Amino acid sequence: MSNKIILFSIVALTFGSFALAYEPAPIQDFCVADPNSSVKVNGVSCKNPMQVQAEDFFFSGLHLRGNTSNAVGSRVTPVFAAQLPGLNTMGISMVRIDYAPWGINPPHTHPRATEILMVLEGTLQVGFVTSNPDNRHVSKVLQKGDVFVFPVGLVHYQRNVGNGHAVVIAALSSQNPGAITIANAVFGANPPIASDVLSRAFQVDKTVVDQLQAKF
């Protein structure tokens, strides 16, 4: 083996294990979450497979409209491992999102998941922003039946640009994707981030920062 090939193999193995580090591949048919177990693992420990029932792989309720009477005019109904125990260790989950007319799902990121979204009803403008230094805004208007993907970790949002209700179903590549809503994390941190830090970061007056911190 030449040195080049050995080096390539080492690089491939290293990056291969990085890819697996995201959500480990299952090493059994299933590992239905046992919420009663006090054992701490990466995920939730498994229920005895002999006691597993069809109900453990089942969730009912995504036909129901989420309540969008809130400041942003949208509602996410999650189907993560916490709602559907059979998703534990499977590296996948689902949400329904409802939008009031002109409602938004504010800019946020999922630290552990890529998201693929399909419009069931309505017209949505969607977008994500690439990482530094480009911060390119990739955006598109979607109609019923359209599908769009938000790459893992990138800040993204959706806005209902129609006068009617809008609804989407999205799948995410983690049993527990996590969500960091930018405004809430930055201006609603508890305890707060010092206002002079935010004032300088956002290049605005401290009074503007105080106003924003008061809202979150």
Ligand X SMILES: *[C@@H]1O[C@H](CO)[C@@H](O)[C@H](O)[C@H]1NC(C)=O
- Annotated binding-site residues read 105, 108, 110, 115, 156
Report the residue from 47, 96, 112, 156 that binds ligand X according to the rule CB under 6 A. Answer: 47
Tell the smallest beta-carbon distance from residue 50 to ligand X (Å).
12
Tell the smallest beta-carbon distance from residue 104 to ligand X (Å).
17
Q: Please tell me the distance from the alpha carbon of residue 74 to that of residue 66, in angstroms, as a whole number.
A: 8
**Region of 3-11, 29-37, 88-96, 108-116 interacting with ligand X (CB under 6 A):** 29-37
Report the residue from 14, 28, 42, 69 that binds ligand X according to the rule CB under 6 A. Answer: 69
Residues 103-132 interacting with ligand X (rule: CB under 6 A): none
Tell the smallest beta-carbon distance from residue 32 to ligand X (Å).
8
38 binds ligand X (CB under 6 A): no
Tell the smallest beta-carbon distance from residue 145 to ligand X (Å).
28
3 binds ligand X (CB under 6 A): no
Alpha-carbon dihedral sign for residues 131, 134, 139, 145? negative
Q: Please tell me the distance from the alpha carbon of residue 12 to that of residue 21, in angstroms, as a whole number.
A: 14
Bridging pattern class, strands 104-109 and 180-181: antiparallel
Tokens of 20: 């697996």
Spatial neighbors of 13 by CB under 8 A, at least 6 apart, are none
Tokens of 73: 């005019």
Residue 105: which of 69, 149, 158, 147 has the closest Cα? 158
Q: Please tell me the distance from the alpha carbon of residue 149 to that of residue 158, in angstroms, as a whole number.
A: 12
Q: Which is nearer to ligand X, 74 or 123 (CB)?
A: 74
Contacting residues toward ligand X, per CB under 6 A: 34-36, 47, 67, 69
